[in-house]
Amino acid sequence: MQRLRHRDEFSADHPSLSIALATSRSEMDPAWSASGTEMAFTTDRNGREEIWLRSQRGDFERPLVTPSDFGAETFLLSAPAMAPDGQRVAYHRIGAEGDRIWTTSVAGGPPVRLTSDEHPQESPSWSPDGAWVAYDQGGEISGSNPVSSLVKMRVGARMPRMVA
């Protein structure tokens, strides 16, 4: 017997809990658009992690980013973050080159690596104006403790800026 997994949602307007998505697969990392009309999420329904886009009412649902979108091996796709305008999604990808942040247009097109920086990157989050993506950047290992920093990157710029 398969256990049904579901994603719950609630709002201030309707304080009772409702199910946003119910499947027998792992569906995780929900990220709603600012308008609340679309949600990006990670799913393994096709056997490997993919990032999908879904309307609030479930009128449409489609893959947005899959491992086949990259020319190299993709081990993991996770942590989607919707841009404030709802037009792009930033996400974490682990590939042969390591942990990196990528972006993809909701309208379609190839994935774009956020920065050419070679440090590990994860946990993207957009600035309110959509001009920057903040993320956790791993650094050199000091003793047995990895060092990480909060970094922000202007979308389209060449070099990230350290925040903390």
Task: Kindly state whether residue 6 falls inside one of the protein's structural domains.
Answer: no
Those residues whose C-beta lies under 8 Å from the C-beta of residue 5, and which sit 6 or more positions away, are 22, 23, 24, 25, 26, 27
Task: Kindly state whether residue 13 falls inside one of the protein's structural domains.
Answer: no
**What CATH number corresponds to the domain at position 55?**
2.120.10.30
Give the chain's end-to-end CA distance (angstroms, integer): 48
Domain that holds residue 127: 21-162
Per-residue pLDDT of 80-118, as tens digits, reads 999 999 999 999 999 999 999 999 999 999 999 999 888
Low-confidence ranges of the chain (pLDDT < 70): 1-26, 139-146, 164
Number of domains the chain is built from: 1
Task: Kindly state whether residue 32 falls inside one of the protein's structural domains.
Answer: yes
Determine the pLDDT at residue 128: 95
Determine the pLDDT at residue 45: 87
pTM equals 0.81
State the residue for tokens 């990006």. 40
Determine the pLDDT at residue 22: 55
Determine the pLDDT at residue 99: 95
How many CB atoms are located within 10 Å of the residue 50 CB? 20
Task: Kindly state whether residue 49 falls inside one of the protein's structural domains.
Answer: yes
